[in-house]
Structure 1
Amino acid sequence: MTVTDTVATATGRILDAPALWPAQAHTPTVIGRQLVIERGEGAYVHTTDGRRLFDGTAGLWHANVGHAHRDLARVAHEQMLRLETYHQFARYSNDRALALGERLAAISPIERPKVLLNSGGSDAIDLACKLARRHWQREGRPEKTIILSREFSYHGLHAYGTSIAGLDFNREGYGTDSLVPETSRVPQHDLDALEARIAELGAHRIAAFVTEPVQGTGGVHPPHDGYFERLQRICREHDILLVIDEVITGFGRTGTMFAAERYGIEPDLLTFAKGVTSGYAPLGGVLAAPRIWEPFFVDSPETPIFRWGATYSGHATAAAVALEHLDILERDGLLPRVAELEQVLARELAGLAERRPEVVDVRVAGLLGGISLAEHLVAERVTDALVELGFISRPLRGNTLQISPPFIIDDAELVSFVAAIEHAITEEGSR
């Protein structure tokens, strides 16, 4: 009898399921219930069983210009017929990656940055953490290796993202508290606790502090007033690099191109992904400040090398899509539109909280919203009920409902989404 047979005998039969392993899932509770998306149009997606659903999460926070945008499809098609991609190792590069680098540098909240391109947010976090450590090694301070992060944070699921995650369940089951040992987490909003942790570990051992401007998967938590002002002061005083994870917030989600602009943050490294292409091509990367990149660009035989890059770093088709996507954001005035929609969302959620005692808290930052529910309700059940009403939300940490629809929606659609949430909450509360 195999180990699998033993487990099946002890706990139940092995489920008959598709070959594709579902991500982030307790498989017994999703097999047979999966919604298979076959096409999209604007802010809506269609399933193989005939449902038309309002995409209230923009996929995984990324479909900012909506689904099936013809201009992005056209640009990808044209680029693939011209050059699908070419790597950027050593002497080689490609024209689209170079053009995107210049475009990103021009809109970056970091002055005179260098741009490192890869395939997504998890890649970007891995790269930023490695670059932070490489920086201190090059500076002759090899003891600075620890990466700090915040409770309830999410930074992807590569080795570094798993290691610095403030969501404990993402780090469990690997035989150690952290895949990369030199990591530590601090309370969500408590900067006194951060200073205490720095004193405990020793600032001379800490390479960087990584944080989202608005915590996303952790429950949509904007920063408290003054948080980033003091955080930056602490990082400067203790010579700790500040890494801002804008994988969710970058490219307009908070009403400015980057949330760093909204909250007055001056990072040493900034990671991005998702919204750079609205998910139309896998692309992410890091913006690096001059203090980080300049030593690697000195014209000298002694200049060190930072070993980074993968096959798809600077992928030409992804870069072409990103360039067109940035044009669309500007041409269609979508960042000012997010600022307008924020006011609608804030108004509707405030009303919801006033009317429904089951709503414990609501939080809004741009077109990002979180609704925390009372303990007697289960967010998963509310999101299931929303599907039956024709709307997609997602349960987040803290019994929270996610709101992050595409930027292209109208006011009425956003009002209807919140109304559907209220209906679902009311129905579940009466069970």
Structure 2
Amino acid sequence: MEPDLSALDVQSHIHPYTNLALHQSAGPMVITKGEGVYVYDDKGNRYLEGLAGLFCASLGFSNSRLADAADRQMRKLPFYHSFGHKANEPAILLAEKLLAMAPVPMSKVFFANSGSEANDTAIKLVWYYNNALGRPDKKKIIARTRGYHGVTIASASLTGLPNNHRDFDLPIDRVLHTDCPHYWRNGRPGESEEEFATRCANSLEEMILKEGPETIGAFFAEPIMVSGGVIVPPKTYFAKIQAILRKYDILLVADEVICGFARTGNMFGSETFDMRPDMITCAKQLSAGYLPISALMVSESIYQAMVSESKKIGTFGHGFTYSGHPVASAVALETLKIYEEDRILDHVRSVIPHFQKRLHGLSEHPLVGEARGCGLVGAVELVANRETKAPFPAELGMATRVGMAALPRGVITRALGDTVNMCPPLIISKQEIDLLFDGIEGALEDTYSMAKAA
């Protein structure tokens, strides 16, 4: 007799980002296999994975080249570490490849296992760097409300979402949050996008001056705030923000964990929005989600500060057992080769217009206040009143309801607050984009009908 996987899961498994009390009765949706942009559950139902798993399965769920790369490396050298002058070939080649691809000149790469770890490492390096320069007070870090940077203690502190802080005793000291640059939600009547961007930049400068520029070490920003609801920056935003950072000698860390590797229509989101960061974090699509790996790229000035401090101390006292894991590195390297050889960026650019047309077509629905996106990522924000932009009561979980209504239509999305997010595999076709949005349109209509009947 086959085991009851649902029952076993409830007995043994703690699920991230899940109502654990509800899960005891609702149980899991058990996914058993994947093929292309589709996944299948244990009952044989097929779903178009509209979120690429968790923004990561860029090449779909059945790429044999990645499986073969893992198999070859597993048989040759299944594990080795990078501590104490040790190295392995895949990690060396992957670092070289990333530096060659970087949107701005970068000096070195540090490998970790998740976006959270990469951002956590970047925080530590901000502190390490300023200690090396004899600036012990320049340690505060500014992130943004609704930004998402991970769930370790430090990276969760950067994250500007309340549920990542509540009852975890977060954020920690030295982490500040400035305005969320969401023009549709936060712009004033009659205010242009450029004027709103100026107001956001002025607010940031006011915070810096209030805290003291000599105390601010870095500013963390995603090119697009995807997990905060796909917040696309308003026109001129990053140009104005970066001018202020340069004025006060504050590092810019670009969190490319979701935006990196063709998602926005360029290889990096920093290119799309003309960001010139001092550090870049990436993960997710780095390995197409096939194995856990992340990377932090640092500028030459930061690296030289690391060298001087490690010389003084006798070691660079940071790293993970699996930093530069040879199998994960081999899969990531093969992923980057596939992006080039299969011209994935060209394909993404060819389907973006259709994706964005279908996305913005949802803005006419009575439940939708705004449809927004860039490249192959988008969201619709649900509202109770389209004129006033008033949200639904949180307890109704309207975005979750839309997601649940999409499942019988063969589509998986993700509810994030009041938004329904879409971020499909990069290999999606125009026909599959239509299947995705047909399912979401139907789910919106089902949810609207139920709300009217209630």
- TM-score range normalised by the length of the shorter chain: over 0.9
The alpha-carbon distance between structure 1 residues 201 and 41, as it changes in their structure 2 partners (threshold 3 A), is same
Contact 1:244 1:267 in 2 (8 A): yes
Quick one: which amino acid aligns to residue 343 of structure 2? G
Contact 2:57 2:425 in 1 (8 A): yes
Look up the match of 1:422: 441
The alpha-carbon distance between structure 1 residues 300 and 220, as it changes in their structure 2 partners (threshold 3 A), is closer
Counterpart among 363, 378, 396 of residue 416 in structure 2: 396
Look up the match of 1:82: 76
Does residue 184 (structure 1) correspond to residue 176 (structure 2)? The answer is: yes
Q: Could you tell me how far apart the structure 1 residues matched to 2:226 and 2:246 are? A: 26
Does residue 363 (structure 1) correspond to residue 372 (structure 2)? The answer is: yes
Q: Could you tell me how far apart the structure 1 residues matched to 2:209 and 2:282 are? A: 31
Look up the match of 2:150: 156
Q: Deviations over 1:244-283 (max 9, x none)?
A: 1000011111111111111111100110000100111100
Unaligned segments of structure 1, at least 5 residues: 1-14
Counterpart among 215, 224, 232 of residue 242 in structure 2: 232
The alpha-carbon distance between structure 1 residues 24 and 320, as it changes in their structure 2 partners (threshold 3 A), is same
The alpha-carbon distance between structure 1 residues 113 and 161, as it changes in their structure 2 partners (threshold 3 A), is same
CA shift at 1:95, angstroms?
1.1
Look up the match of 1:201: 211
CA shift at 1:357, angstroms?
2.2
Look up the match of 1:19: 12
Does residue 279 (structure 1) correspond to residue 284 (structure 2)? The answer is: no
Quick one: which amino acid aligns to residue 372 of structure 1? E
Does residue 384 (structure 1) correspond to residue 404 (structure 2)? The answer is: yes
Q: Could you tell me how far apart the structure 2 residues matched to 1:298 and 1:428 are? A: 59
SS of equivalent to 1:215: coil
The alpha-carbon distance between structure 1 residues 202 and 300, as it changes in their structure 2 partners (threshold 3 A), is closer
Q: Could you tell me how far apart the structure 1 residues matched to 2:9 and 2:27 are? A: 13
Look up the match of 1:211: 221
Look up the match of 1:10: none
Q: Could you tell me how far apart the structure 2 residues matched to 1:112 and 1:430 are? A: 53
Q: Could you tell me how far apart the structure 2 residues matched to 1:16 and 1:408 are? A: 31
Q: Could you tell me how far apart the structure 2 residues matched to 1:183 and 1:143 are? A: 13
Counterpart among 281, 295, 300 of residue 290 in structure 1: 300
CA shift at 1:306, angstroms?
3.3
Counterpart among 48, 53, 60 of residue 59 in structure 1: 53
Q: Could you tell me how far apart the structure 1 residues matched to 2:323 and 2:90 are? A: 12
CA shift at 1:301, angstroms?
5.6
Look up the match of 1:6: none
CA shift at 1:196, angstroms?
1.2
SS of equivalent to 2:160: coil
CA shift at 1:303, angstroms?
8.1
Contact 2:223 2:256 in 1 (8 A): yes
SS of equivalent to 1:415: helix
The alpha-carbon distance between structure 1 residues 16 and 308, as it changes in their structure 2 partners (threshold 3 A), is closer
CA shift at 1:68, angstroms?
1.9
Look up the match of 1:30: 23
Contact 2:129 2:306 in 1 (8 A): no
Q: Could you tell me how far apart the structure 1 residues matched to 2:248 and 2:410 are? A: 51
Q: Could you tell me how far apart the structure 1 residues matched to 2:356 and 2:175 are? A: 36
Quick one: which amino acid aligns to residue 10 of structure 2? A
Q: Which moved more, 1:60-69 or 1:418-427?
A: 418-427
Q: Could you tell me how far apart the structure 2 residues matched to 1:254 and 1:299 are? A: 37
Q: Deviations over 1:202-231 (max 9, x none)?
A: 111111111111001100011111111111
Contact 2:113 2:322 in 1 (8 A): yes
Look up the match of 1:118: 112
CA shift at 1:304, angstroms?
6.9
Q: Could you tell me how far apart the structure 2 residues matched to 1:394 and 1:363 are? A: 15
Q: Aligned runs of 1:316-355 on 2, under 5 Å?
A: 316-354=326-364
Counterpart among 266, 276, 281 of residue 266 in structure 1: 276
Contact 1:84 1:317 in 2 (8 A): yes
Unaligned segments of structure 2, at least 5 residues: 1-7, 182-199, 385-391
Quick one: which amino acid aligns to residue 411 of structure 1? K
Look up the match of 1:100: 94
SS of equivalent to 1:286: strand
Aligned-residue CA RMSD in angstroms? 1.8
Q: Deviations over 1:151-199 (max 9, x none)?
A: 001111011111111101101102x342x31111011122221111111
Q: Could you tell me how far apart the structure 2 residues matched to 1:404 and 1:304 are? A: 45
Q: Could you tell me how far apart the structure 2 residues matched to 1:82 and 1:16 are? A: 34
Q: Which moved more, 1:136-145 or 1:25-34?
A: 25-34
SS of equivalent to 2:337: helix
CA shift at 1:342, angstroms?
1.7
Q: Deviations over 1:16-64 (max 9, x none)?
A: 9320111111123233342111111110001112211110000000000
Q: Which moved more, 1:303-312 or 1:228-237?
A: 303-312
SS of equivalent to 2:420: strand
The alpha-carbon distance between structure 1 residues 209 and 16, as it changes in their structure 2 partners (threshold 3 A), is closer
CA shift at 1:392, angstroms?
0.1
Quick one: which amino acid aligns to residue 184 of structure 1? L
The alpha-carbon distance between structure 1 residues 322 and 195, as it changes in their structure 2 partners (threshold 3 A), is same
Counterpart among 305, 308, 318 of residue 308 in structure 1: 318
Contact 1:296 1:304 in 2 (8 A): no
Quick one: which amino acid aligns to residue 383 of structure 1? G
Contact 1:57 1:404 in 2 (8 A): yes
CA shift at 1:297, angstroms?
4.0
Q: Could you tell me how far apart the structure 2 residues matched to 1:97 and 1:252 are? A: 22
Contact 1:163 1:171 in 2 (8 A): yes
Q: Could you tell me how far apart the structure 1 residues matched to 2:285 and 2:170 are? A: 31
TM-score (norm 1): 0.92
The alpha-carbon distance between structure 1 residues 16 and 272, as it changes in their structure 2 partners (threshold 3 A), is closer
Does residue 146 (structure 1) correspond to residue 156 (structure 2)? The answer is: no
CA shift at 1:131, angstroms?
0.4
